[in-house]
Chain A
Amino acid sequence: MVIDKSDVPHIAFISGNALTYGLLTDGQWFLDTISEDNSINWYYGTSIAVTESGNVHIIYTKNYMVPGSPIEYGSVWWATNSSGIWQTTEICPGSGGKIILDSLNKPQVVSIANDGGLQLSGFDGDQWTTQDVLPALGLKGSVQYPDITFDSEGNINLFFIYFPDTSTANGIPVHALFDGEFWVKDFFDSSTKPHFDLSAARSGSTINVLYAEWFNHDTLRVRWAHASDIKLVTIQSTTNGSNLREFTVIRTGNLDKPLRVYYYLSEIDYNWLDYFNYHFVVIPAGLVSTNIKIYHPLGRGSNSIKIVLLPNPAYRLTKPSSATLLIK
């Protein structure tokens, strides 16, 4: 169910072997059968989104049986009335998932691949493209309960229960962020007990996720986790003294907590083993900035030092995200 800007509820549900859309108008539910297919095994996994102008987007899964085989497979479909009539399109093989609309009302869909992987599909106004997300995150295994939400800057945030070992039930919650260039993963909950029933939502500048965990044999833990998404981080060079090179890392947003900012430092024309390293710096609570000080012996072979800030789910980078200082 989704509520539109006029506070009208819209629903999508499965009734028998049919996908049905419902709209509450003047106290009466108007129901419309969108897709009916008795040749498939069953429908399931609906998710619905509505634009401000009232156009409806629905995803659903068709489950098929391989003829002469007990093997089943799924296919994720999209239904929309944006053109004035209901049209359905197959997005990709897979199942389940959730649909959301970006600022241009283009749908984004997260779903589970038939091999258990995580896939993100986007519609550019003409066609759907689907990407396999787990390899981009450096992960292998399978997922369940995928969900998707945008943050306040329009970046895609995925949440899912990740099973590194498909032979066990010990799935762990993972947050993945795509900032338009990089995918970043965040194991934000250190518990490795079995997790399930994950869902996510954005409220203002806060990302929320709710999930359950088998805490012990007779107790469940339901956990609400939330984080602010509006910390912007940038860098500038400040000092170019005789043997001191100083950079300032600056943040915006809530200053209540310290913020750890990751970067790599490269020293051009010098031994990369010594000076191409990953580091972090902590901006203390209450402060908007901190300095990275690099004391450099004169006479060494390099001629510049460059610091490149690295993305992390705890903050968003804004330009400039790198700075260079000459040494000689």
Chain B
Amino acid sequence: MKYANKILVCTILILLYPALSYGDWQFHDEFVSLKEFPGGFDPQRVVIDKSGYPHFIAVASEFQEGNLGSSLFEYYFTGKRWENTFLQSNMSSSVAFAMDSKDHKHLIFQEAPFPGECIYPP
């Protein structure tokens, strides 16, 4: 019985490893109401600026039905909280976003239905 308990403890520890984590991660959350965007809210690929803060483009739709296009928002973390900026309406969901070495933002999107490109400084 003594060894059976030890085998059980060892087995549990071995199974737990390496799933154990100390929780060194830090989290910063932004809550989005789907009542505002019933057609969906899709955060695109994260981009980190030179200060280490994240930016992402969200493709959000106020319309649940039909092909009426989506709106683009830029979300960014200020160091204390998330902020967002409205960019364009009547867009498709095809978006590419990047930042260069000067933190200038490059955004390529597809209008509904025409393609377009926009490059702007911060």
Is the CB–CB distance between A218 and B33 below 8 Å? yes
- Does B1 sit within 8 A of A, measured CB to CB? no
Number of interface residues of B (CB under 8 A): 53
Q: Smallest Cβ distance from A280 to chain B, in angstroms?
A: 8
Is the CB–CB distance between B106 and A9 below 8 Å? yes
- Does A287 sit within 8 A of B, measured CB to CB? no
Mark each residue of chain A from 194 to 208: 1 if its CB lies under 8 Å from any CB of chain B, else 0: 000101111110101
Chain A neighbourhood of B47, CB < 8 A: 201
Is the CB–CB distance between B43 and A210 below 8 Å? yes
A207 closest partner in B (C-beta): B25
Is the CB–CB distance between B25 and A226 below 8 Å? yes
- Does A140 sit within 8 A of B, measured CB to CB? no
Is the CB–CB distance between B18 and A310 below 8 Å? yes
Is the CB–CB distance between B32 and A219 below 8 Å? yes
Mark each residue of chain B from 43 to 54: 1 if its CB lies under 8 Å from any CB of chain A, else 0: 111111000101
CA A209 to CA B26, docked complex, whole Å: 11
One of A61-69, A75-83, A179-187, A235-243 at the interface = A179-187
Is the CB–CB distance between A222 and B20 below 8 Å? no
Q: Smallest Cβ distance from B82 to chain A, in angstroms?
A: 8
Mark each residue of chain A from 222 to 257: 1 if its CB lies under 8 Å from any CB of chain B, else 0: 111111100000000000000000000000000001
**Of A29, A182, A203, A257, most B-chain CB atoms within 10 Å:** A203
Q: Name the interface residues of B40-95: CB closer than 8 Å to any CB of A.
A: 41-48, 52, 54, 56, 58, 75, 77, 82, 94
Q: Name the interface residues of A286-328: CB closer than 8 Å to any CB of B.
A: 310-314
Q: Smallest Cβ distance from B106 to chain A, in angstroms?
A: 5
Residues of B within 8 A of A (CB): 3, 6-7, 10, 13-14, 17-35, 41-48, 52, 54, 56, 58, 75, 77, 82, 94, 96-102, 104, 106, 108, 117, 119
